[in-house]
Structure 1
Amino acid sequence: MDSQTKRLFGILHIGTVNMTMKIIAYSSLEDMEIIENVSHEVKYGEEVFTRHHVSYQSLNEICRILSGFRQLLRDYDVRDVRVLSTTAIREADNLLNVIDQIYIRTGFHVEVVHMAKEIYYKFFGLYYHVLRGTFNFADKAVLLLDITSGGVGLTCWKSDKLLFQQNVHIGSLRILENFTPRQRSELTFPTAVREYIYGTLSPLWASVQEHNIKYIVLSGRAATLIGNLMNKKKDAGICLIKPEEFRHFVYSFQGITPLKLVQRFNLSNNLANVIMPTILLYYELLRIIDVDMIVMMSTTFTEGYSMYYVAEQTHNSYLDHQRGLLLDLTRSMAGKYLYDPNHSSRVEEFCSILFNAVYKKIGLNYQCGYLLKLASILHETGKFINIRKHNLCTYNLITETDLFGITDEEKEILANITYYAFGGILQESSDKYNQLTPEQKVITAKLIAIFRLADSLDKSHLGKISRIQAELTDTMLILHYRSELDITLERWTFMKTAINFAEVFGISPMLRKG
C-alpha cells in the first residue's frame, strides 16, 4: 500500500533531554512507516527536577520548538496529532499554567502521561517485537528494566506470562537531585550514587532474585546510547552485551561521573547527567542477579505509544493479548490478598456478557469493559485488611497501587466501582464519587450499575448459576440463566440491583430460567 493511501499520525514528545516529533503513515500495526523524525536536545530537564518549576525561559524554548514542529505537520497535512509530556513538566508546580500557555501559543493540547503509563507504553511496543520473534528468550525469565528521567520500571515475564511489575520514583535526574553540584564533583560521588540506588531499591531485590532471571532487557534512547559508547554493533535493532563486558566498561572509569563521560565521549552535560545514573542502575542490578545476557532493544516511549495508538485505531488483536497478560498479573496481585478466584471469575464472566450486550446502546466505549474485568478481580481484596470496611480498603489499595496499563483517570473510575459495588445510593454528594470529573461520573455510574447486577448473580459465592445469556430489547434486558439449585438469594439481590440498572439506563433487567 502506498504511503499516500495510509493514514497519517503525528506524535510530539516533550521529553527531559530531547523534544521529538515523528510523523507516521500506517494502515495497520504491521504496516507502520516513520516518514519524518525530528529531535532537538533541550536544557530545561534538570531545572524542572531541581526547582519543580518550568521557568519563563524554558517555556519559551518548549513553545519555539513546538512551533517549528507545527509547521512541519502542516507541510505534510497531518491533522491527527498527539502532544505528550512525561517527566519533563508533569511534576512542575506550575503544570496547569504551562499546559495552558502551550495551548495559547502553539494551539497544541498537551497530554500529561504519568510514569506507570509511560513505562507501559514502552513495554507494549517492546513485547510486540518479542512475540514476533525479534529475539528468542528460550522460555527463560526476562526482566525489562526501564529507567526514565523520573522513574524506574521493572517488568518481568516468562513464557508469555507476566510475573511481576513494579515502578519506583528513582529516575536518572531524580537520583541526581539528591546531590548538590559540589557533591557531584567529589571522588566518592560514584560510590554514594551506587549505594543510594541500592538502598532505595532494596525492597525489590527479593522479587528480582525470586524468579531466576536470565535476561535483562534495556530499551530506549539511553540504552541505545550506552551500546554505542561501548562500540557494540546492532543487528535488527538489537545489541547483545555480556555482563562481564558491561562490568569492564564501568570499571574502566575508575569511578564513573558525568564529567568523565563528557571528557571521554564528548557528550553534553545534560546528556551525561542522565546517562551516568542509568549506567550505575544497570550495574547495581547486575550485582544482584546473575544473568546470561543483556539485550538492548531500541524501542522508545514514542514508538510504544505510536504502536498502542495504531493498535487501538485498527482494533488489532494484540490489544486483547496485552489485556490478557495484564489481567493475569492483576490476579496474581489479588492472590496476595486471598481473594476468591472462583467468585471473581464468575463475576468477570457475567460482567462481560452484560457489558457486551448493552455497551453500544448505553454510550460506553469498549475499553470500559476492561475496567469491569479488573473490578471483578479486585472488588473483594479489601476484605483481607478489614472485612468491616472492606470497600474503603479496596478503594485505597487500588488508588495507591500502580496498575500496569491503565491511566490515573481510569484507576479512579475502577476504585469507585469497587467502593460502591456493594450497594448504597450513588449521588453527586457521595463520598468518593464527588471527587470525579463530570465525564468520569457518568462512566462510573453506568459501570457500577452493570457490576452490581453481575455480582448479584453470584451473591452466595457458591456458583449456583452456571451460565447466562443476555437478550436485549428496546426496554428490557432478559437474562436467561441455567441452574439446578435454589437461587433465592441471587434472585432477591438481582431484583434489588435491577432497580438501579433501570434508573441508569432506562432498561429493565429480567431474570428468566432457560
Structure 2
Amino acid sequence: MENRVRQYAGIIHIGTVNMAMKIISYTAMDDMTIIENVSQEVEYGEEVFKTHHVSFRSLNEICRILNGFKQLLRDYDIQDVRVITTTAIREADNMLNALDQIKVRTGFKVEVVHMAKEIYYKFFGLYYHVLKGTFNFAGHAVLLVDITSGGMGLTCWQDDHLLFQQNVYLGSLRIMENFTQRQREDISFPTAAREFIHGSLAPLWANVHEHDIRYIVLSGKSAVLLGKLMHIEPQNGATLIRPQMFRDFVESFHGLTPLKLMQRFKLSEGLANVLMPTFMLYYELFRTIEIDMIVLMSTTFTEGYSLYYVAEQTADPYVNHQRGLLLDLARTIAGRYLYNPDHSARVESYAAKIFQALYQRCGLAYHTGYLLRLAAILHETGKFINMRKHRVCSYELIRQTDLFSITDEEKEIVASVASYIDPYMPSEHADWVDRNPTPGLEVLISKLQAIFSLADAIDKSHTGKIKQIRAVLGDKELRLYYQSELDISLERWSFIQASRNFEEIFGITPRLLKGQV
C-alpha cells in the first residue's frame, strides 16, 4: 500500500449557539482523527436574529474567541485553517463589514456557507457513516431531519437513492424571533408555538406522506443532548427512541417552555431557547408522520464539513458517489416539470464526454463538469411554464430552486448554462435572459455554455438518432465519433452552427465524424 503523508487542518465554525473548532489529522476519509475538539457557547446568536445586525459587542466576542482558537492552532503548528460561518453572520445587514473586521482583527478569512450547503455538509458526513454500516435501515425509506438555528432540512433516501430534499427557513432561533419575551412567558406559548410550526410546515406534508418513511434520523448536538436528557444510552454509534417515548417526554412538561427546560435540567438560557423550539419541531413531525423508530446520530456540522474537506483534498471516491446521488435527485426535480428524460440523458452524456476530453487542457476544474451535467438535466424544465420563453423560465426556475449542495454562485452557473442561447442563432433571441455574471464567472460560464451547446446540437431533433459519442482531442481539433444509419442532417447543421462559438471560446475546431464509438 502506498505510504500517504499525514496532513493536519483546523476547522472553525462561527455558529449562533456556539463557536467550535476541530483540529484534524488525516491521510484519507477512513483515516481522519480529531486531535482537538473545543467549543464555547456564545451570547450573540439571538441578538443577530432579532436585529439582523452584528453589533460591535458581538464582533468583540467573536474575535476574542477566534484569537483564542488561533493560539491553540499555533501550539499545534497548524497552517491549513478553514473558518466557516452559517446563519450567525450570513443574514446580518452588515455582513461584509463584519467579515472585514474579523479579517483585520484575527487574520482569518471567513467562508459564508448558505443554507443549502450547510444542510448538505451534515448529510455528507452522516451518509458516509450510514454507508460504513453505523446503522442498517434494511432498505426502508429514511428521513434525515436537520434543524439549525436558521432553518430545517428534510432529506429522504431509500436504498442509496435520494427521494426528495427540502429546506425550510424555520430553525430553532427563527421560531423564537416570531414571539416577544412577554409572549414566550405566557401560559399559551407552547400551544401557539406548536401551531405556528404546524402551519409553517404544512406545504411539506404531502411530499413527506408520498413515501413510506419508517425511520427518522436526528443528528448533531441537539440530538445527542436529547438522548442524554431522556437517559437513553447509545448503541453502536446510534441512539434509538420509540416515537411514543419522545411524545411522552415532551408531554411530561405539560407545556414545554425554555424556563421548564432550564429548571428541570439546569440548562443555560441560551441553550434552552434553542432546544425548546427544536424539540417542538421534532414533536410536530412525530405527531404527523407514523414511523417505526427515531435514530439519533452524533454527526455535527463541523464533522460533516471536515469529512467533506478531507474527501475533496484526497479525491476520495465517495465524492463521486455523492455526486451520483445528487444528479439523480436533479432528475427527480426535473421530472416535476415534465421534462424529456431521454433527450436530457443524451445531452448529459455527450456533454460529459466532451468535458472529459477537454477539461485538463482548457483550464476547467474537474468539479465544474458536475455543474455542466446538472445544466443538461434541467435545461428543458422551463418548457413546463412557457414554451415560447422556456429559456428565461428555465433560468429563473433553476435560480429559485434549492439544489442540494449547490451554492448561489454555482446555481448561477448552472442556470446560465442551461438557458444558453447560441449567439449565431438570432431567431432564438426572443426569450433572451439578461444576466450579468461577475468577471470571474464569465469565462467559466462561456466555456461550459460552448460545451453544452455542442452537446445539445447532437440531439437537436430529440429523437436519439445518435445514441452515443466518443470524444478525441487532438492538437487543433476535437473529433466526436458517432454511429448512425439515420439521416442526421438537422444534427449536423446544428452542430456546425454551435461549432462557431466553440471554436472562438477554445481555439479548437470540433468535427462530427462517423466512426467507432
Q: Which residue number corresponds to residue 171 of structure 1?
A: 171
* Contact 1:375/1:417 (8 A) holds in 2: yes
Q: Does the 8 A contact of 2:446 with 2:505 survive in 1?
A: yes
1:328 aligned residue? 328
Judge conservation of contact 2:346–2:468 (CA < 8 Å) in 1: no
Read off the aligned partner of 1:352 and give its amino acid letter: A
Q: Distance in 1 between matches of 2:166 and 2:371?
A: 20
Tell me the equivalent position of 2:13. 13
Distance in 2, matches of 1:138 and 1:100, equals 49
Contact 2:349 2:468 in 1 (8 A): no
Q: What is the aligned partner in structure 2 of residue 482 from structure 1?
A: 483
* Contact 1:120–1:405, Cα closer than 8 Å, also in 2: yes
Query: Residue 437 of structure 1: CA displacement?
Result: 1.7
Distance 2:4 2:74 in 1: 15
Structure 2: how far apart are the matches of 1:508 and 1:433? 29
> Counterparts of 1:490 and 1:149 in 2: how far apart (Å)?
52
**Structure 2 CA distance for partners of 1:174 and 1:424, relative to 1, 3 Å:** farther
User: CA separation in 2, counterparts of 1:281 and 1:380?
Assistant: 37
Q: 2:339 aligns to what?
A: 339
- Residue of structure 1 in register with 2:463 after alignment: 462
Q: Is contact 1:209-1:288 (8 Å) kept? A: no
Deviations along 1:27-84, whole A, 9 cap, x unmatched?
0011000011111110000000000000000000000111111111111111111100
In 2, Cα distance between equivalents of 1:401 and 1:4: 40
> Conserved in 1, the CA contact under 8 Å of 2:391 and 2:432?
no
Q: Secondary structure at the match of 2:160?
A: coil
Counterpart of 2:27 in 1: which secondary structure? strand
TM-score (normalised: structure 2): 0.96
- Taking the aligned partners of 2:57 and 2:35, their CA distance within structure 1 comes to 31
**Contact residue 346 and residue 464 of structure 2 kept, 8 A:** yes
- Confirm or deny: 8 A CA contact 1:433 1:441 kept in the other structure: no
- What pairs up with 1:199-214 in 2 under 5 angstroms? 199-214=199-214
Equivalent-residue separation in structure 2 for 1:68 and 1:206 (angstroms): 47
The alpha-carbon deviation at position 423 of structure 1 amounts to 4.8
1:512 — aligned with what? 513
Q: Deviations over 1:115-172 (max 9, x none)?
A: 1110011001101111111111111111100100000100111111111110000000
Residue 416 of structure 2: aligned partner: 416
Give the C-alpha shift of residue 406 in structure 1.
1.2
Residue of structure 2 equivalent to 1:60: 60
1:473 and 2:474 matched: yes
Give the counterpart letter for 1:107 in structure 2.
G
Cα distance in 1 for partners of 2:432, 2:24 equals 44
1:215 aligns with 2:215: yes
Q: Are residues 52 and 58 of structure 1, via their aligned partners in 2, closer, same or farther at CA, if it must alter by over 3 Å?
A: same
User: Partners of 1:452 and 1:135 in 2: how far apart?
Assistant: 44
* Alignment partner, residue 315 of structure 1: 315
Read off the aligned partner of 1:326 and give its amino acid letter.
Answer: L
Task: Please report how far the alpha carbon of residue 291 of structure 1 lies from its aligned counterpart in structure 2 after TM superposition.
Answer: 0.8
Kept in 1, the 8 Å contact 2:352–2:369? The answer is yes
Q: CA deviation at 1:235?
A: 2.2
Q: Tell me which stretches of 4 or more aligned residues in structure 1 moved more than 3 Å.
A: 421-426, 430-434
Distance verdict in 2 for CA 1:499–1:424, change over 3 Å:
closer
Hey, what's the Cα distance between the residues in 2 that align with 1:388 and 1:42? 53
Q: How many residues align?
A: 510
TM-score for both structures, normalised by structure 1: 0.97
Q: Which residue of 1 aligns with 2:303?
A: 303
- The alpha-carbon deviation at position 421 of structure 1 amounts to 4.6
What is the CA distance between 1:4 and its match in structure 2? 11
Aligned CA distance change for structure 1 residues 66 and 4 (closer, same or farther; 3 Å):
farther
> Quick check: 1:475–1:507 contact (8 Å CA) kept in 2?
yes
Q: Deviations over 1:389-413 (max 9, x none)?
A: 1001001111111000111110011
Which residue does the alignment assign to 1:438? 439
8 A contact 1:145–1:154 mirrored in 2 = yes
Preserved CA contact (<8 Å) 1:237 1:298: yes
Tell me what 1:450 maps to: 451
Q: Does the aligned pair in 2 maintain the 1:237–1:297 contact within 8 Å?
A: yes
Q: For 1:320 and 1:280, locate their aligned partners in 2 and report how far apart those are by CA, in whole Å.
A: 36
Deviation at 1:431, TM superposition (A): 7.3
For the pair 1:194 / 2:194, whether they are aligned, the reply is: yes
Q: Would you say the 8 A contact 2:395–2:418 is kept in 1?
A: yes
- Given that residues 25 and 34 in structure 1 are in contact (C-alpha distance below 8 angstroms), is that contact kept between their aligned partners in structure 2? yes
One-letter code aligned to 1:201: L
State the alpha-carbon separation in 1 of the partners of residues 483 and 118 from structure 2. 44
- Alpha carbons of structure 1 residues 122 and 421: separation in structure 2 relative to 1, 3 Å: farther
The equivalent residue for 1:145 is: 145
Aligned mates of 1:406, 1:432 — CA distance in 2: 21
Q: What RMSD in Å do the two structures reach over aligned CA positions?
A: 1.6
Could you tell me how far apart the structure 1 residues matched to 2:301 and 2:273 are? 20
- Aligned residue type for 2:513: R
Distance 1:424 1:254, change over 3 A: farther
Contact 1:421 1:451 in 2 (8 A): no
Which residue does 2:230 correspond to in 1?
230
Q: Deviations over 1:365-397 (max 9, x none)?
A: 111100111111100010011011100100111
Shift of 1:225: 1.1
Q: Give the match for residue 241 of structure 1.
A: 241
| Aligned 8 A contact 2:115 2:151 in 1 | yes
Does residue 500 in structure 1 map to residue 501 in structure 2?
Answer: yes
The answer to whether the 8 A contact 1:379-1:421 is kept is no
- Cα deviation code 1:432-454 (max 9, x no counterpart): 67532211111101100000011
Which residue type is aligned with residue 40 of structure 2? Answer: H
Cα distance change, pair 434–303 in 1 and its aligned pair in 2 (3 A): same
CA separation of 1:260 and 1:434: change in aligned 2, threshold 3 A: same
Q: Is the 8 A contact 2:141 2:213 kept in 1?
A: yes
